[in-house]
Amino acid sequence: MELEKKICIITGAAKGVGRATSLRFSREGAVVVLVDILEKELRELAERIHDSGQESVTMRADLSDSHDIRRAVERTMNQFGRIDVLVNNAGIVGPTKKSWEIQEEEWDRVFGVNLKSVYHFCRFVAPLMIARKDGKIINVASIAGKEGNENLAAYSASKAGVACFSRVLAKEVAALGIRVNSIAPALIETDLVKEMPKEQVEFLLNKIPLRRLGRPEEVAELILFLASDRSSFITGQCFNVTGGRGDY
């Protein structure tokens, strides 16, 4: 088991890529700390993990609230004494509008969940990992953050921030035993896609050479690789999971 007894925080764990990653990590022996605002879905996921003979803990948190994030980190440390892997997966699409039509509160909400939550989790967790000279951080960006998707300015800009922030942090902690990488999925079969207008989904799907949506389990495999020792010489990178869709 690649992650046996590793303490792994996964945000946005209740659905989609977060759920698939949580299940994949648990199959590799990880103790998964499931963080999300969706309590019912978290409980159902925790029950499934428990039924498989593995350990998990649920923590409800509003990921736009730094106080909730701090409490989640503190609870994890109080219960387990360390954090081995942090997966910042939580995200929202936000408004599908022209850039000049987006309201300030809409822009702030997207950045609060997509980028500020990554910043807050990393600023609370990175010092703990540095103290042990060990840890892996994987941040979920998006191909939209590399290309820029029409009518998704807030989402695209926030995900570009995730990728850039990850590169900066990776350089800052590389000599301290911590590896930081990000991934850039294209359209994945999640509730985020269901929130988008049908014509927007079709437009983006036409950019994917494989002509299909990705599956959350396919993304989870890459996250597992980056969390494992198999990727021990990889840091500061942003990996596409896009079915062939390119970027700049």
Exposed (0-12), middle (13-18) or buried (19+): which is 232, by Cβ within 10 Å? exposed
Tokens of 50: 């428990």
Sheet holding 178-185, edge to edge: 56-60, 31-36, 7-11, 85-88, 135-140, 178-185, 238-241
Partners of residue 200 on adjacent β-strands: none
Catalytic residue among 121, 155, 165, 239: 155
Q: How far apart are CA 99 and CA 92, in angstroms?
A: 17
Q: Is 155 a catalytic residue?
A: yes
Q: How far apart are CA 172 and CA 58, in angstroms?
A: 30
DSSP helix/strand/coil, 149: coil
Catalytic residues, which ones?
A: 155
